[in-house]
Structure 1
Amino acid sequence: MSDAIYDDVTRVEAMKRERVEMTVDIYESADSVRDHDFTTKTNTLQPLQGTGRDSVGIRIYKAAVICLVLLCVLLLTAVVLLFVHIDTNNTKYTEKTNQLLTTITNLTEENNVLIYKLSIFDERIYCNSFYYMSNETKNWNDSRRDCKKRGADLIIINNKEENDFVMKITNKTAFWIGLTDIEEEDTWKWVDGSELTSGFWASGQDVEEPKGGKDENCAVTYLTHNPELTGWHDVKCETAYQWICEKSILPFIQP
């Protein structure tokens, strides 16, 4: 029995020791919780400090942003320059177009003038000359004045071919030509001042032209009342006849 009592006492003491150890563990745990530094926990909620790799990434990002901004500026500059270039070219094209239109207008005006001049010369052309044959009659001086108003002068016959041409277009009708000896008797000169060396005076039937002396100082192609005498006649300058004007065609065809 005494052994049983002893065993019970031993168990009770063991239980007490276990209770004491548990109490000590609890207090130590409590002290441990009370003394714990919550700064570490708090710090976990703070932003992480940048590492070396993070700094490099930030610098690359900033560089990329700067490059993008510069690229946008360059692109904007290029667009502005392009618009300026286009505007300048448009201005040049407009100026060239206006110059072309002016040239066309001038050519049209010159063409109209040429058509007009061709019309007043009755569209008769031989070699390098226009010819205008009047439908009315005037004396030699008035006939020449009319030619000059047209930018021409009385006809100058230079060779046989031209004389044959005149004979054909006048059809044996008297027309004034640009030949006179009014300045000096028997010295026949053309209206350009050149002296006649050989002409196509009428001859035959005891007639030898020129024969009028001081009274007949201007020349015509025929005498209508004496058509069988083919060739020039000297007549009085005050008589009224038709006339032929001549103008060189060269100014109209040379550049």
Structure 2
Amino acid sequence: MAWQHIVPGITLLLLKLTGTSLFLVFIPQIFPRGNFSFIPEENYTELLTTPNLPEARATIATTVQIPQKPPTWERHRGSEFWFTETKEIWLHCRVDCMQWSSDLAIISDRNELEFIQNKTAMGSYFIGLTYTVAQNKWLWIDGTELKNNLFAMRPKAVDDECATLAAGELKPVSCHEEHHCICEKNPK
């Protein structure tokens, strides 16, 4: 075999080995661990402290992933309801509802309460009711006060500022826990 054919092959092999070695040595410095990802990040406004809850109610995530398939709405009297299959914190539930031109459910009468109780017997669902420390009372997201003729609210613990409906019972819970959501919209 002639040297003029072997030398270029060996030179090319040495160049490839050198390039690969340099790549392996310097890639960790170029992309430090944890700073390189192909997974898209979601930029949600975090609800860090409970005193910020009133301000956070109006905050919507800057990046929201809409569920893959449109929700299945259930019609009841003048409204439509969506009972989510996934669990979220209260603020994310509200954002999910708003993505579908709705908001967390406001239960206004006994008939609506019975309809929702029948649908929530097997889970715990966030509704549009929160405790306002400044006013020392439970308010619906539209600003109206909770009426005692519909619900008997269990005593509130220190960090319980949101409400769920579970097995037909209204319960105070932390807004940072994950529960299913009930969205409500009024079709036009």
Q: Which segment drifts farther, 177-186 or 233-242?
A: 177-186
Give the Cα separation in 2 of the matches to 1:120 and 1:155.
18
Partner Cα separation in structure 1 for residue 110 and residue 100 of structure 2 = 26
Pairing 1:170–2:108 present: no
Find 2:146's aligned residue among 186, 192, 196.
Answer: 196
Give the secondary-structure state (helix, strand or coil) at the position aligned to 1:164.
helix
More helix by share: 1
Residue 156 of structure 1 pairs with residue 106 of structure 2: yes
* 1:232 alignment partner in structure 2: 170
Residue 69 (structure 1) aligns with: none
Which residue of 1 is the match for residue 159 of structure 2?
215
Amino acid at match of 1:158: S
- Aligned partner letter, 1:194: T
* Length-normalised TM-score, structure 1: 0.44
2:52 pairs with 1:122: no
Partner of 1:135: 85
Q: Specify the SS of the correspondent of 2:123.
A: coil
- Partner SS, residue 178 of structure 1: strand
* In 1, Cα distance between equivalents of 2:149 and 2:72: 26
Shift of 1:187: 1.0
Distance 2:160 2:122 in 1: 20
| Secondary structure in 1 matching 2:137 | coil
Shift of 1:212: 2.1
After superposing on structure 2, the runs of 4+ consecutive aligned residues of structure 1 that deviate more than 2 Å are: 182-186, 197-202
Q: TM-score, normalised by structure 2?
A: 0.58
The count of residues paired between Structure 1 and Structure 2 equals 120
Alignment of 1:74-85 (within 5 A): none
How far apart, CA to CA, are the structure 1 residues paired with 2:81 and 2:70? 9
Larger RCO, structures 1/2 (Cα 8 Å, 6+ apart): 2
Percent identity among equivalent residues? 27
Q: Deviations over 1:226-246 (max 9, x none)?
A: x5xx42000111000000100
Report matched runs for 1:88-103 at 5 Å: none
SS in 2 for 1:181: strand
Q: Distance in 2 between matches of 1:211 and 1:171?
A: 21
Question: Using the alignment, how far apart are the partners of 2:150 and 2:170 within structure 1?
Answer: 6
Stretches of structure 2 that go unaligned for 5 or more consecutive residues are 1-68
Q: 2:162, 2:182 → 1: CA distance? A: 14
Whole-Å separation in 2 of the counterparts to 1:126 and 1:241: 22
Q: Which structure 1 residue ranges, 5 or more long, are not aligned? A: 1-118, 203-208
Partner SS state of residue 146, structure 2 = coil
Specify the SS of the correspondent of 2:92.
helix
With over 3 angstroms needed to count, the CA separation of the structure-2 counterparts of 1:239 and 1:199, relative to structure 1, is: farther
CA distance in 2, matches of 1:163, 1:132: 15
Deviation per residue, 1:109-137 (Å, 9 max, x gap): xxxxxxxxxx8341300011111111100
**Relative to total residues, which structure has the larger strand share, 1 or 2?**
2
Contact 1:176 1:221 survives alignment (8 Å): yes
**Pair member with larger Rg:** 1
Q: CA deviation at 1:221?
A: 0.5
